[in-house]
């Protein structure tokens, strides 16, 4: 299995850097340490990785304009704009005060550790405590300063369940000499790079994936209906027309500012609020609501959630997280409403709904009723609230496609609505 962290790691001059996709999809960023590029007129950036066929690829990245250096001399951070690099929006930011401390890696291109022409290396580390403006981390295996020269500017990255996470950018070792035995490094938090963006907001965009800025980037990825044969195009186009109208009125960025992390199942890491799966599912969720209730105000979350509330959980099998789901904030959903679940890694769940009968054969849910955060209209959440996966909407259409055989452009919206009414 190839190392996925290598695809975000680049050589920058005699140091390293980390690729990151900002909201503006016209270009990409290389995040690095300021000292790596200061005083260099012709900076070269090389993305080096092993391809599926085992061959080494050296990809020279085209720089767009001049680098952006942090204006504070005490903050060793810089952003370099490069021509758009595809498939890097799976790297999400992880703010240091919210992240797990274990199983991170310093990724870069040290001068002294090469394998032929392949210089990429990752050093496993544990994040420790803040040190003045920076954060200290300790590499698992003892290394000296000279052994990691060239990794300055490299990303502190990890793979966690369904996405890659970035905690910051390496500045230097804690002690710059060859007798350093604790293998401690200091790295810059992502807030340094946010400050660079703010200082140059006319030409730089925030450190979030493009779909956070615009819902419409996700339009081609929702409602795939992969196994639907009959009338697939007209069904999908009918739903996408509703979705497009929704895209014009709101965005994930706006929703995050207003609603924050209330879409997360209890115990789900905060970085999942930026996960693509959440926003694909939420756009489908809003589309389904608009299909049933054309005049609904999608900004009225309280009103919407009286009937249906969508939650996301970071897992490959959503039914493994029933305990956490019932520990979540369900207080907005009134009796007769639905808890609608989206799982980051489960595209086609084997179970679409948890019925009362199914609950009886699943592992016991040990959350006492008085510890549940539920509406005062709900007496028994296992009976009074429907628990359903959002995929059930597509699943029902696929399984009942014969009833849509006579659908056409005139009756498509009404036909889909009548067929699926009450499913979600």
Task: Give per-residue pLDDT as tens, 75-118.
Answer: 999 999 999 999 999 999 997 565 678 999 999 998 765 455 78
Over residues 330-352, mean pLDDT? 94
Report the alpha-carbon distance of residue 339 to residue 356 in Å, rounded: 14
Helices (H), 74-226: 190-199, 210-213
Report the alpha-carbon distance of residue 63 to residue 340 in Å, rounded: 44
What is the three-class DSSP state of 198?
helix
Q: What is the mean pLDDT of the chain?
A: 90
pLDDT at 16: 95
Angle between helices 252-259 and 276-292 (to 10 degrees): 90
- First-to-last C-alpha distance (Å) of the chain: 39
Over residues 10-18, mean pLDDT? 94
Checking if the pLDDT of 128 tops 60, the result is: yes
Give the model's confidence band at 22: pLDDT under 50 very low, under 70 low, under 90 confident, else very high.
very high
Residue with tokens 């290394």: 143
pLDDT at 245: 94
pLDDT at 39: 87
Q: Which residues of 11-41 are buried (b: 16+ CB within 10 A; e: fewer)?
A: bbbebbbbbbbbbbbebbbbbbbbbbbeeee
pLDDT at 322: 93
pLDDT at 44: 95
Rounded-to-10 torsion of CA 114, 124, 90, 264: 180
Q: What is the pLDDT of residues 155-164, one digit of tens each?
A: 999 998 889 9
pLDDT at 146: 64
Give the model's confidence band at 180: pLDDT under 50 very low, under 70 low, under 90 confident, else very high.
very low
Two tokens at 347?
A: 């595209």
What is the three-class DSSP state of 248?
helix
Report the alpha-carbon distance of residue 355 to residue 389 in Å, rounded: 12
pLDDT at 111: 75
């Amino acid at each position: 299995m190839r190392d996925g962290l290598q695809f975000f790691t680049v050589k920058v001059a005699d140091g390293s850097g980390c690729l990151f996709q900002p909201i503006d999809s016209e270009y990409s960023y290389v995040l690095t340490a300021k000292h790596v590029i200061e005083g260099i007129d012709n900076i070269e950036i090389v993305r080096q990785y092993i391809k599926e066929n085992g061959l080494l690829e050296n990809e020279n990245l085209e720089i767009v304009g001049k680098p952006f250096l942090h204006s504070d001399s005490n903050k060793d951070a810089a952003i370099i704009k490069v021509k758009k690099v595809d498939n890097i929006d799976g790297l999400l930011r992880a703010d240091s005060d919210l992240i797990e401390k274990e199983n991170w890696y310093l990724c870069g291109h040290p001068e002294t550790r090469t394998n032929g022409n392949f210089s990429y290396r990752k050093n496993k580390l544990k994040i420790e405590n803040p040190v003045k403006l920076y954060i200290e981390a300790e590499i698992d295996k003892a290394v000296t300063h000279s052994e990691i020269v060239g990794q300055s500017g490299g990303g502190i990255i990890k793979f966690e369940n369904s996405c890659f996470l970035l905690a910051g950018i390496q500045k230097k070792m804690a002690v710059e000499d060859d007798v350093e035995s604790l293998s401690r490094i200091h790295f810059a938090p992502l807030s340094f790079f946010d400050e660079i963006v703010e200082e140059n907001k006319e030409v730089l965009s925030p450190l979030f994936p493009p779909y956070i800025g615009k819902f419409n980037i996700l339009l081609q990825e929702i409602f795939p209906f992969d196994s639907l044969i009959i009338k697939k195009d007209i069904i999908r186009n009918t739903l996408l027309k509703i979705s497009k109208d929704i895209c014009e009125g709101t965005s994930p960025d706006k929703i995050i500012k207003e609603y924050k992390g209330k879409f997360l199942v209890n115990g789900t890491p905060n970085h999942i609020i930026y996960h693509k799966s959440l926003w694909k599912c939420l756009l489908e969720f809003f589309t389904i609501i608009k299909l049933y209730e054309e005049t609904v105000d999608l900004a009225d979350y309280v009103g919407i959630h009286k009937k249906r509330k969508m939650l996301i959980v970071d897992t490959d099998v959503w039914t493994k997280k029933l305990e956490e789901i019932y520990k979540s904030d369900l207080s907005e959903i009134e009796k007769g409403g639905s808890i609608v679940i989206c799982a980051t890694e489960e595209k086609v769940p084997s179970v679409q709904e948890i019925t009362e009968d199914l609950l009886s054969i699943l592992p016991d849910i040990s959350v006492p009723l008085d510890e549940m955060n539920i509406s005062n209209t709900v007496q028994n959440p296992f009976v009074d609230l429907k628990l359903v996966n959002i995929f059930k909407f597509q699943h029902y259409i696929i399984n009942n496609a014969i009833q849509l055989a006579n659908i056409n452009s005139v009756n498509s919206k009404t036909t889909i609505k009548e067929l699926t009414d009450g499913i979600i």
